[in-house]
Amino acid sequence: MAQAFFWNREAECLPRPELEKLQVERLHRVVAAAIERVPLYKERLGQAGITAGDITSLADLRCLPFTTKEDLRDTFPYGMFGVPMEQVVRIHASSGTTGKQTVVGYTRSDIGVWAEVIARTLGAGGTTGGDIVQNAYGYGLFTGGLGLHYGSEALGAAVIPLSGGQTKRQVQVMQDFGSTVLCCTPSYALVIAEVGAEMGVDFSRLPLRVGFFGAEPWTEGMRTEIEAKLAIDALDIYGLSEIIGPGVAYECLEKAGLHIAEDHFLPEVVDPETGEPLPPGERGELVFTTLTKEALPLIRYRTRDLTVLDDAPCACGRTCRRMRRVTGRSDDMLIIRGVNVFPSQIESVIVGIEGVAPYYLLVVDRKPGKMDELEVRIEISEDIFSDEMKELERLEQRVLSEIESVLGLSVRVKLVEPKAIARSEGKAKRVVDRRDLFK
Partner 1 sequence: MKVSQISVFLENKSGRLAEVTRALADADINIRALCIAETIDYGVLRFIANDPAKAKRVLSERGFTVTETTVLVVEIEDRPGGLARVIEVLARAGINIEYIYAFLTRSEKAFVVLRLEKMEEAAQALQAARVRILTGPEIYAL
**Helices assigned H by DSSP within 342-388:** 343-351
> Which of 390/423 has CB closer to partner 1?
390
Q: How many residues bind partner 1 (CB under 8 A)?
A: 18
Segment 347-406, which members bind partner 1 (CB under 8 A)?
380-382, 385-390, 392-393
Tell the smallest beta-carbon distance from residue 412 to partner 1 (Å): 9
AA identity, residue 230: L
Tell me how far, at minimum, the Cβ of 25 lies from partner 1, in Å.
60
Taking the least distance from each CB to partner 1, the nearer of 176 and 382 is: 382
Nearer residue to partner 1 within complex by CB, 36 or 417: 417
Residue 417 beta carbon to partner 1: minimum distance, rounded to whole angstroms: 5
Task: Please enumerate in sequence order all residues whose Cβ is within 8 A of that of 294, keeping only pairs 6 or more positions apart, or say none.
Answer: 33, 82, 83, 87, 107, 109, 110
Question: Is 410 an interacting residue with respect to partner 1 (CB under 8 A)?
Answer: no
How far apart are the C-alpha atoms of 33 and 397, rounded to whole Å?
49
Instruction: Report the SS3 class of residue 351.
Output: helix
CB-wise, 276 or 393, nearer to partner 1?
Answer: 393
User: What is the strand order of the sheet 322-323 is part of?
Assistant: 158-160, 132-135, 181-184, 210-214, 233-240, 245-251, 258-260, 322-323, 301-310, 283-290, 265-270
Residue 281 DSSP symbol: T
CB of 418 to partner 1, least distance (A): 6
Piece of the chain touching partner 1 by CB under 8 A; list 59-67, 87-95, 208-216, 411-419? 411-419
Contacting partner 1 (CB under 8 A), which of 169, 370, 394, 419?
Answer: 419
SS3 call for 90: strand
Least distance CB 409 / partner 1 (angstroms):
20
Least distance from partner 1 to the Cβ atom of residue 52, Å: 59
Handedness of CA 133, 134, 137, 139 (dihedral sign): positive
CB-wise, 21 or 414, nearer to partner 1? Answer: 414
Among the listed residues 240, 293, 239, 245, the one whose alpha carbon sits nearest the alpha carbon of residue 88: 293
CB 333 within 8 A of CB 342: yes
Task: List the one residue from 165, 168, 418, 438 that touches partner 1 (CB under 8 A).
Answer: 418
- Chain residues that interact with partner 1, rule: CB under 8 A: 380-382, 385-390, 392-393, 414-420
